[in-house]
A and B are shown apart, each in its own frame.
Chain A
Amino acid sequence: QVQLRESGLRLLKPSETLSLICDVSGGSIFGSNWWSWVRQSPGRGLEWLGEVYYTGTTNYNGSLKGRVTVSVDSSKSQFSLTLTSLTAADTAVYYCAVLYAGQFFQYWGQGILVTVSS
């Protein structure tokens, strides 16, 4: 079973850039799966942010207006999330997840709480 673990800075200031890494273990980053990021603001629902295929092909949530970038480093079995121009509204638990065959999120990381505050 694939296991995922998020890491990165947990406290950022408004206007700064969020950078998170997801380490993939127990399975190959190659193949038919897509590697995704989903976030959940405190007390709110789930929001898909974007995803990457091992080839580097990406797909993003259009509502984020170009602020989000997802990339993959196959040599390290990692993929990453970058979110620019942060505001307090970006405070959330950020999850990395496996999008099985591009269909549904099969496995999730434990999540990392990122707080944006001055």
Chain B
Amino acid sequence: SYDLTQPPSMSVSPGQAATFTCSGDALPNQYAHWYQQRTGQAPLLVIYEDKKRPSGISERFSGSRSGTVATLTVRGAQVEDEADYYCYSTDSTGNQRVFGGGTKLTVL
């Protein structure tokens, strides 16, 4: 089965940039999308198709993809950004949908 790999945790100080990575062998040919999940809530789409931002999502969120690695950056991290961040993509066939294991962001 196909896997997307994310570091399990990250910690930044308020105002710093938080950079999340997601690696997968099929990423050179498949879009990456990113979700924020606060405790007890459903996931929220924050970046789609590598770098597009849905309406209502802060400009502090940006995304990119290069080769087998997709990246989500949150500029000027705030306490309200504390959450789990998941990348999502598909395998090389485009039929199997896969989430990364998630990265827990702590801002302190």
Interface positions of A (Cβ within 8 A of B) = 36, 38, 45-48, 51, 59, 61-63, 95, 99, 103-106, 108-111
Chain B residues 63 to 94 lying within 8 A of chain A, measured CB to CB, are: 86, 88
Q: Are B102 and A45 in contact (CB under 8 A)?
A: yes
Q: Are A45 and B49 in contact (CB under 8 A)?
A: no
How many Å lie between the Cα of A104 and that of B86 in the bound state? 13
Find chain B residues with CB under 8 A from A95 CB: 42-43
Chain B residue nearest to A50 in the complex (CB):
B97
Interface positions of B (Cβ within 8 A of A) = 1, 31, 33, 35, 42-45, 48-49, 54, 86, 88, 95-102
How many Å lie between the Cα of A108 and that of B42 in the bound state? 7
Find chain A residues with CB under 8 A from B42 CB: 95, 108-111
Additional 10 contacts, C-beta under 8 A, given A103-B31, A105-B35, A106-B45: A36-B97, A46-B43, A46-B86, A51-B97, A61-B96, A61-B97, A95-B43, A103-B48, A108-B42, A110-B42
How many Å lie between the Cα of A59 and that of B96 in the bound state? 8
How many Å lie between the Cα of A114 and that of B88 in the bound state? 24
How many Å lie between the Cα of A111 and that of B33 in the bound state? 20
Q: Are A48 and B97 in contact (CB under 8 A)?
A: yes
How many Å lie between the Cα of A61 and that of B86 in the bound state? 18
How many Å lie between the Cα of A109 and that of B43 in the bound state? 9
Q: Per a CB cutoff under 8 Å, which of B44, B54, B102 touches A46?
A: B102
Q: Are B45 and A104 in contact (CB under 8 A)?
A: yes
Find chain B residues with CB under 8 A from A59 CB: 95
Q: Per a CB cutoff under 8 Å, which of A45, A61, A109 touches B100?
A: A45
Find chain B residues with CB under 8 A from A63 CB: 1
Q: Per a CB cutoff under 8 Å, which of A36, A48, A51, A110 touches B99?
A: A48
